[in-house]
Amino acid sequence: MKESSLAISEFKAKCLRLLDEVERHGNHLVITKHGRPIARVTPVSDSVRTLRGSWKGIVKGTSDIVYLDLSSEWEATQ
C-alpha cells in the first residue's frame, strides 16, 4: 500500500482519475493545503465476509458428509 501526498489544487484537477487509482490499487492519498496535511483518501474496505459459501467452487465433495462409514478402514481385533 503506497501513500502519496499532493496539493489540494492538483487533487481538484485530477480528482476522478485519482479516486479510480485509489480504488484499483488500494493506495492512500494525503491532500495538503499550503504544505499542511488536511485529508487522507483511503479505499473503502470490503465488508466482512461470512464463511457460508466461501469455499464454493474451490472444494468439491465426493462422498456423503452426513453418513460417514469408516468401518472398512478399521480392522476388528479378537
Q: CATH assignment of 1-38, given 3.90.1200, 3.40.1620, 2.40.50, 2.70.70?
A: 3.40.1620
- Ordered by start, the domain boundaries in the chain are 1-38
What amino acid is encoded at 46 in this protein?
A: D
Evaluate if pTM is beyond 0.85: no
pLDDT value at residue 17? 95
Per-residue pLDDT of the chain (78 residues; tens, 9 = 90+): 688 999 999 999 999 999 999 989 888 999 999 999 999 999 887 556 677 877 788 877 777 777 777 777 777 665
* Per-residue 3-state assignment (H helix, E strand, C coil) for 35-54: CEEEEEECCCCCCCCCCCCC
Report yes or no: 38 and 31 within 8 Å, Cβ to Cβ. Answer: yes
Predicted pLDDT of residue 78: 58
The pLDDT value recorded for residue 36 is 96
Dihedral over Cα of 25, 26, 31, 35: its sign: negative
